[in-house]
């Protein structure tokens, strides 16, 4: 049996990794396609598929990232499945089985995937560095509260002449205790 596995993280924008695109690639070559919308690393359908799949079966994914979070995790999973007699077809890398040639090619291809990831990270860091030269550049998320709101909350604290405790100020303003402590010390 040939099983296809498609995964996206909930809230992911529609792009080249969209569920529809993955399913279109998998449906033509698989007997069954499992679609999973996940939250972070929780993949119950994939874990169920790994228990269901047997020697002689083939697992098909569009990219190694659909079945593993890291290259090391993917490599270990591929080895584990091959040792059980299961073939793995990663559409952007190729077919992996228990032949000697496949074992050597797998290591080379996994190295290229890791290299590609490193290049992407390097380009991202380079882009951030170039953007940081711009006076308008801000890295990270936008603060939830502006300085005026923080100053008002701090003025309410008994330690600053106000009449409220940290918990009361946090409850009244919606500013977390850790933020109040961080700005007051």
> How many CA atoms lie within 13 Å of 139's alpha carbon, on the beta-carbon side?
10
* 57 three-class SS: coil
Whether the model clears a pTM of 0.85, i.e. scores above it, the answer is no
The segment with the largest mean pLDDT, out of 92-96, 129-133, 158-162, 177-181, is 177-181
* 36 three-class SS: strand
Query: Which tens digits make up the pLDDT trace of 104-132?
Result: 777 777 777 778 778 888 988 888 888 88
User: How confident is the model at residue 15, as a pLDDT?
Assistant: 56
| Residue of 104, 80, 106, 79 whose CA lies nearest to 93 | 106
* 37 three-class SS: strand
Contact 53/59 with Cβ under 8 angstroms? yes
| Residue of 28, 36, 91 whose CA lies nearest to 62 | 91
d(CA 71, CA 128): 25
Please report which confidence band the pLDDT of residue 139 belongs to, taking 50, 70 and 90 as the band edges: confident
Check residues 17 and 162 and name the one with the higher pLDDT. Answer: 162
User: How confident is the model at residue 14, as a pLDDT?
Assistant: 52
Q: Enumerate residues 6+ apart whose C-beta is below 8 A from 17.
A: 8, 63
Q: Where are the alpha helices (DSSP H) in the chain?
A: 19-27, 44-52, 71-83, 100-132, 147-156, 166-173, 177-184
Q: Please give the structure tokens belonging to residue 28.
A: 């033509």
Check residues 71 and 3 and name the one with the higher pLDDT. Answer: 3
Residue with tokens 């961080």: 182
Q: What are phi and psi of 116, to 5 degrees?
A: -60, -40
Q: What's the mean per-residue pLDDT of the chain?
A: 86
Please report which confidence band the pLDDT of residue 176 belongs to, taking 50, 70 and 90 as the band edges: very high
Residue with tokens 């998998």: 26
């Amino acid at each position: 049996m040939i099983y296809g596995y498609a995964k996206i993280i909930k809230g992911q924008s529609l792009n080249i990794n969209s569920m529809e695109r993955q399913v279109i690639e998998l449906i033509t070559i698989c007997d069954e396609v499992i679609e999973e919308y996940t939250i972070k690393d929780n993949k119950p359908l994939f874990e169920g598929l790994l228990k269901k799949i047997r020697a002689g079966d083939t697992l098909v994914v569009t990219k190694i990232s659909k079945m593993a979070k890291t290259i090391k995790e993917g490599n270990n999973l591929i080895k584990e499945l091959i040792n059980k007699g299961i073939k793995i077809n990663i559409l952007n890398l190729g077919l992996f089985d228990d032949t000697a040639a496949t074992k050597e090619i797998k290591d080379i291809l996994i190295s290229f995937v890791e290299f590609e990831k490193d290049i992407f990270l390097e380009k991202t860091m380079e882009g951030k560095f170039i953007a940081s030269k711009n006076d308008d550049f801000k890295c990270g998320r936008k603060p939830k509260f502006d300085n005026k709101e923080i100053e008002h909350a701090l003025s309410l604290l008994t330690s600053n002449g106000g009449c409220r405790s940290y918990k009361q100020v946090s409850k009244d303003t919606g500013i977390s205790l850790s933020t109040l402590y961080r700005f007051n010390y």
